[in-house]
Amino acid sequence: MEGWARAEHLAFMQYCWQKRNVEPFLVGPHTTAFCTAIDVAMRKLKFGLSSYILGMVCFGHGKSEIVSNYLPAHFIGEFPDSEVIVTSHTADKVSEFSSFGQRLIDSTEYNALYPKIGLDERNVSRWSLCEPYFGKVHFAGIDGLPDSFLIHGFDSAESFAAVRERYPVLFSQHQCRFDG
């Protein structure tokens, strides 16, 4: 299972599921589609190819779990010398995502997958990895462009439109669309 959990985002989420004592991990067709698109994008990045995913499903269908909670930790585990920007529509959500990610990286499950990954700097707006890695994860509002990888959870069509208008270059690349 550990090999699959590193290679596939859905398996990573199932292996590291932090709510196993509270609620079951539910997988719908949109969950599989999102995670498969993430897997393809991460494989492309391993070969130096750029990728962009635009995933749109109904509210309350797990976008925050898939992308904002689990993807930063999974991505930085696979690409420990990268920089990641995680954004959201409110500072409170950014704080929630950052805190969750820090707890995830500290978890027994995560450490079984990535035993050499640890956090050197921990605060709401930024994580830094311990040596020998130089990876960083930044948590912020929608101001700023990504150097390596951008994760943003849109809470409405209006927030998506605002980001698309402000950063048209982000939306001129290949896109995947999932409608729920």
User: How many other C-beta atoms lie within 10 A of the C-beta of residue 89?
Assistant: 19
> Would residue 176 count as lying in a domain?
no
pLDDT in tens, 42-62: 998 888 887 767 666 666 677
pLDDT tier for residue 159 given thresholds of 50, 70 and 90: low
> Would residue 180 count as lying in a domain?
no
> Would residue 119 count as lying in a domain?
yes
> Would residue 179 count as lying in a domain?
no
Domain count, the chain: 1
Domain residues for 33? 2-171
pTM > 0.85: yes or no = no
Q: Cα separation of 161 and 163, whole Å? A: 6
Q: What is the mean pLDDT of residues 136-155?
A: 53
> Would residue 104 count as lying in a domain?
yes
pLDDT of res. 2: 73
pLDDT tier for residue 157 given thresholds of 50, 70 and 90: low
pLDDT in tens, 83-107: 787 777 677 777 888 889 899 999 9
> Would residue 178 count as lying in a domain?
no
User: How many other C-beta atoms lie within 10 A of the C-beta of residue 168?
Assistant: 9
pLDDT of res. 73: 92
> Would residue 177 count as lying in a domain?
no
pLDDT in tens, 107-124: 999 999 999 998 887 766
> Would residue 131 count as lying in a domain?
yes
Q: Cα separation of 132 and 113, whole Å? A: 17
Res 19 pLDDT > 80: yes
